[in-house]
């Protein structure tokens, strides 16, 4: 049979790759499970014999088992000062393990000495953070289709650079198995994606205590598909590309059915019926291509790390996150801080930045968390207040006590949040079409929050190919949307973790304890509002509402412009900002400021009072 050779070749290559990935590693890799059931214990050798993890900031996990009250499992890794650390224990959801509550400890330099004695000696010069769990609840994991009992959790900022250890011990109950989850970042590198089905099976089989009969089903399905293809070949010759396609599809379907059949062997989670009809196979293949395509294509698209994308080393660690910024102009000059909007970066400020520098200002532009060259943590922390605190952290690191703030869209909301949280830091406020009144995430966020489907939706909706369409949608004047500009706006989407950041932004609360919409009247600084008359995102009527609420604000509307006013009307926008900054400086020098805010409309380079 002509298709047998490519099929055998595809199977050989895939099985060879699987063998290489499943070989016992000398050091653990991130997101690859570590089966560590018999850790040594009793002396300092316990620490030296612990499993070493080379990339601990990526999520990874130990599958362990405590054989006695004296048994201690140990892992070791290296961290930098200021790095964030998180570890949590999950117990498989067997009723006989509901009372299994092991202890967890983080051991290393700079940590306090423990108050209670531990079942092992801590090396000289080290301390420990110890945690246990009080309560019990059921947590259903959509990926493994299993129920877990969450237990002890530790989350700290590493105080020093050096070698750290995690220890797990406790009184065993039944088959005392557990999963220790460590790390704060997802890793979608190719080797992780290829090995994912193996990781899935190892975790599931270990914690569910074995479902080997399910392994008999995929070979039977593969044999049935081969027989079907043989019948079809008797009707006409099969071309070479059809042979290769069939061979790859057969292996892919086999792996898919392994996961589906394994799922049916558990008593937890929804049951999925398997159909052997042609329609079912076609539907599964198409759906699988769309769903898994997002995961498989992620490492091909998101190929830059933060520094590769930034092209510089202008980063500040704020609350454990890497925040990128640019800082230009004389440091003795008044500082102007630029905060971009949603799905944007410091690239959007290139025109305004040039105008401010020419006028003699010091210009600081900040990439918000999850955007540009800043970190993209996989946590529900993307609130307006978090973004505001990170901007203030950058200014603290640069030694800037007070500045003028300019923000666009969501960046305008962040600037307003700064004026609410730290009014003494804000000299003046310029908001370009700010998101001022929203109290919750948009409706599409409900879909993006969903497991698996949310990531798929985020991946395809943030495709660089759609950037031009998105810019045209929010803009009324489109002459500025050139190929070079589109590439500049799309480039941050090639940074690792960009898609996942969109998912976690959707899962994050909108605001912190002091929401912007409820505290607008507290913004007393001189405020300039710039709006496009035809803004399809936040209508110009929002500007009129803000003028009535803010104690000291003026509104300028640009005729015929859309949401990105500084791109659609660059010269009038730059002139309005420069005039406002000059007026603010004179006011603070003791000159008079207009008693009442003005509502103005600008046309090209002219502005007329309404």
SS (H, E, C) 145-165: CEEEEEEEEEEEECCCCEEEE
Please tell me whether residues 252 and 368 are part of one structural domain: no
The answer to whether residue 462 scores a pLDDT higher than 90 is no
Candidate from 99-108, 228-237, 357-366, 395-404 with smallest mean pLDDT: 228-237
Which helix H or strand E contains 76, and what residues bound it? strand 72-79
The answer to whether residue 449 scores a pLDDT higher than 60 is yes
Please tell me whether residues 454 and 592 are part of one structural domain: yes
Q: Would you give the distance in Å from CA 323 to the centre of its chain?
A: 14
Nearest to 498 by CA among 318, 345, 338: 345
Of 151, 184, 205, the domain-final residue: 205
> Is residue 519 assigned to a domain?
yes
Please tell me whether residues 322 and 173 are part of one structural domain: no
Average pLDDT over residues 508-517: 94
Helices (H), 166-277: 190-208, 217-233, 240-264
Please tell me whether residues 345 and 277 are part of one structural domain: no
C-alpha neighbours within 13 Å on the C-beta side of residue 232: 13
Nearest to 572 by CA among 584, 585, 583, 560: 560
Q: Sheet of 527-532: strands edge to edge?
A: 315-318, 321-328, 362-366, 335-339, 403-408, 426-432, 527-532, 553-558, 599-603, 606-609
More confident of the two residues 17 and 319: 319
The answer to whether residue 515 scores a pLDDT higher than 90 is yes
Reading the block at residue 161, the tokens are 């650079």
Please tell me whether residues 419 and 557 are part of one structural domain: yes
Compute the mean pLDDT over every residue in the chain, rounded to the nearest whole number: 80
> Is residue 23 assigned to a domain?
no
> Is residue 548 assigned to a domain?
yes
Average pLDDT over residues 153-175: 90
Of 178, 205, 232, the domain-final residue: 205
Please tell me whether residues 258 and 121 are part of one structural domain: no
> Is residue 414 assigned to a domain?
yes
pLDDT band with cut points at 50, 70 and 90 for residue 75: confident
Distance between CA 211 and CA 218 in Å, rounded? 14
Give the pLDDT confidence score for residue 286 in this predicted structure.
66
pLDDT in tens, 552-577: 999 999 999 999 999 999 999 999 99
Q: Which domain CATH number covers 40?
A: 2.60.120.380
pLDDT in tens, 26-57: 444 545 666 654 443 333 457 877 777 777 77
More confident of the two residues 129 and 209: 129
pLDDT band with cut points at 50, 70 and 90 for residue 235: low
Give the pLDDT confidence score for residue 117 in this predicted structure.
86
Q: At what angle do helices 4-22 and 240-264 cross, to 10 degrees?
A: 50
More confident of the two residues 516 and 77: 516
pLDDT band with cut points at 50, 70 and 90 for residue 431: very high
The answer to whether residue 104 scores a pLDDT higher than 90 is yes
pLDDT in tens, 135-157: 767 887 766 667 888 999 999 99
Please tell me whether residues 497 and 603 are part of one structural domain: yes
SS (H, E, C) 249-271: HHHHHHHHHHHHHHHHCCCCCCC
Please tell me whether residues 293 and 313 are part of one structural domain: no
pLDDT band with cut points at 50, 70 and 90 for residue 251: low
The answer to whether residue 200 scores a pLDDT higher than 60 is yes
Distance between CA 166 and CA 152 in Å, rounded? 12
Of 141, 175, 205, the domain-final residue: 205
Give the pLDDT confidence score for residue 607 in this predicted structure.
34
313: number of Cβ within 10 Å: 7
Residue 569 CA: distances (Å) to CA of 336, 411, 572: 20, 19, 6
The answer to whether residue 545 scores a pLDDT higher than 50 is yes
Average pLDDT over residues 261-269: 43
Q: Which domain CATH number covers 366?
A: 3.40.50.1820
More confident of the two residues 10 and 208: 208
Give the pLDDT confidence score for residue 148 in this predicted structure.
86
Residue 442 CA: distances (Å) to CA of 383, 466, 549: 14, 19, 24
Please tell me whether residues 314 and 295 are part of one structural domain: no
Distance between CA 416 and CA 586 in Å, rounded? 22
Distance between CA 475 and CA 558 in Å, rounded? 12
> Is residue 225 assigned to a domain?
yes
* Helices H / strands E in the chain, number of each: 18, 21
> Is residue 22 assigned to a domain?
no
569: number of Cβ within 10 Å: 25
Distance between CA 14 and CA 456 in Å, rounded? 25
Please tell me whether residues 178 and 234 are part of one structural domain: no
Nearest to 417 by CA among 448, 444, 442, 390: 390
More confident of the two residues 353 and 297: 353
Residue 509 CA: distances (Å) to CA of 309, 342, 375, 380, 441: 28, 15, 18, 7, 8
- Asked if 368 and 390 touch (Cβ cutoff 8 Å), the reply is yes
> Is residue 24 assigned to a domain?
no
Strands 162-169 and 103-109: antiparallel
> Is residue 26 assigned to a domain?
no
C-alpha neighbours within 13 Å on the C-beta side of residue 547: 19
Distance between CA 517 and CA 529 in Å, rounded? 16
For the chain, helix, strand, coil in percent to 5 are 40, 20, 40
Please tell me whether residues 585 and 488 are part of one structural domain: yes
More confident of the two residues 258 and 519: 519
pLDDT band with cut points at 50, 70 and 90 for residue 10: low
The answer to whether residue 8 scores a pLDDT higher than 60 is no
Distance between CA 338 and CA 347 in Å, rounded? 11
Instruction: Write out the residue range of the structural domain in which residue 251 sits.
Output: 4-15+211-301
Q: Which residues pair with 316 in a beta bridge?
A: 323
Reading the block at residue 285, the tokens are 């293949």
Q: Report how many domains make up the chain.
A: 3
Q: Which residues pair with 199 in a beta bridge?
A: none
The rounded percent of the chain whose pLDDT value lies above 70 is 73
Average pLDDT over residues 581-598: 59
Candidate from 19-23, 195-199, 259-263 with smallest mean pLDDT: 19-23
Please tell me whether residues 462 and 355 are part of one structural domain: yes
């Amino acid at each position: 049979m002509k298709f047998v050779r490519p099929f055998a070749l595809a199977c050989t290559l895939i099985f060879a790759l699987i063998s290489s990935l499943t070989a016992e590693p000398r050091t653990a890799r991130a997101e690859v499970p570590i089966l560590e059931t018999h850790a040594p214990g009793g002396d300092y050798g316990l620490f030296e014999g612990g499993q070493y993890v080379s990339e601990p900031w990526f999520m990874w996990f130990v599958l362990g088992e405590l054989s006695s009250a004296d048994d201690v499992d140990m892992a070791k890794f290296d961290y930098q000062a200021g790095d964030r650390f998180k570890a949590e224990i999950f117990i498989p959801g067997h009723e006989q393990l509901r009372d299994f509550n092991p202890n967890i400890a983080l051991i290393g330099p700079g940590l306090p000495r423990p108050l209670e004695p531990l079942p092992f000696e801590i090396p000289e010069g080290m301390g420990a953070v110890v945690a246990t769990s009080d309560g019990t609840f059921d947590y259903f994991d959509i990926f493994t289709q299993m129920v877990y009992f969450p237990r002890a959790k530790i989350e700290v900022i590493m105080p020093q650079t050096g070698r750290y250890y995690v220890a797990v011990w406790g009184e065993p109950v039944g088959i005392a198995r557990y999963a220790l989850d460590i790390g704060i970042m997802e890793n979608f590198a190719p080797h992780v994606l290829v090995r994912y089905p193996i990781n899935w099976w190892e975790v599931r089989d270990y914690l569910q205590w074995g479902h080997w009969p399910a392994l008999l089903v995929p070979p039977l399905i593969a044999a049935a598909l081969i027989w079907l293809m043989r019948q079809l070949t008797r009707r006409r010759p099969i071309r070479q590309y059809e042979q290769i396609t069939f061979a790859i599809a057969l292996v892919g379907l086999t792996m898919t059915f392994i996961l589906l059949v394994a799922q049916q062997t558990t008593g937890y989670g929804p049951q999925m019926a398997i159909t052997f009809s042609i329609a079912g196979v076609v539907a599964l293949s198409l759906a699988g291509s769309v769903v898994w395509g997002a995961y498989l294509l992620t490492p091909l698209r998101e190929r830059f790390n933060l520094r590769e994308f930034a092209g510089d080393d202008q980063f500040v660690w704020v609350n454990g996150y890497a925040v990128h910024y640019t800082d230009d102009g004389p440091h003795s000059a008044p500082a102007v801080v630029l905060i971009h909007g949603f799905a944007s970066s410091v690239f959007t400020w290139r025109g305004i930045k040039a105008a401010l520098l020419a006028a003699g200002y010091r210009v600081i532009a900040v990439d918000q968390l999850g955007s540009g060259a800043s970190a993209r943590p996989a946590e529900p922390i993307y609130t307006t207040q978090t973004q505001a605190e990170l901007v203030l952290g950058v200014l603290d690191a640069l030694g800037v006590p007070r500045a003028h703030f300019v923000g666009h869209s969501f960046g305008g909301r962040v600037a307003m949040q700064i004026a609410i949280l730290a009014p003494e830091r804000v000299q003046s406020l310029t908001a370009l079409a700010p998101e001022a009144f929203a109290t919750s995430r948009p409706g599409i966020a409900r879909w993006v929050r969903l497991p698996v489907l949310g990531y798929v939706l985020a991946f395809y909706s943030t495709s660089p190919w759609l950037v031009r369409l998105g810019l045209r949608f929010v803009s009324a004047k489109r002459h500025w949307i050139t190929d070079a500009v589109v590439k500049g706006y799309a480039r941050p989407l090639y940074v690792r973790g960009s898609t996942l950041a969109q998912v976690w932004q959707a899962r994050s609360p909108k605001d912190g304890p002091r929401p912007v919409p409820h505290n607008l009247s507290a913004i007393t600084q001189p405020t300039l509002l710039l709006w496009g008359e035809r803004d399809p995102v936040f209508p110009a009527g929002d500007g009129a509402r803000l003028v009535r609420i803010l104690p000291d604000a003026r509104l300028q509307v640009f005729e015929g412009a859309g949401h990105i006013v500084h791109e659609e009307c660059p010269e009038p926008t730059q002139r309005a900002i420069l005039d406002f900054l000059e007026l603010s400086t004179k006011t603070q020098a003791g000159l008079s400021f207009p008693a009442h805010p003005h509502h103005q409309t600008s046309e090209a380079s002219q502005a007329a009072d309404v």
